[in-house]
Amino acid sequence: MSRRTRPDLSTAMQRLIREVRTQVPFDMPEASLCRGPCKGCSKKLLEFLDTELEEWEGWLEEGEVPRFGDLARLERLARKVVAALRKNGLIATV
């Protein structure tokens, strides 16, 4: 039985950032974001998540090594933003 090797935390963070950037509609037009009653401001949530991702991208470029808690926190934030976007009808429910 072979053991699977896990990526180091920097690689895992880069993968998480890439996955979030692929799945979250950061390029959605503002008119689409603000089109009726909302459960949380989609525009502000997307801006906040984008800022967090940009910060981590910069820190990783500078050689910062994330801790497991950093990875978990960013994943939890992304999941909450996606859930709010679903509630606002901006992402299809799977």
Domain spans in the chain, listed from the N-terminal domain onward: 41-89
**Which tens digit of pLDDT belongs to each residue from 32-71?**
777 667 777 888 999 999 999 999 999 999 999 999 999 9
Q: Which two tokens stand for residue 38?
A: 């909302």
**Model pTM?**
0.85
**Cβ pair 24, 82 in contact under 8 A:** yes
Cα torsion at 17, 63, 69, 47 (round to 10°)? -40
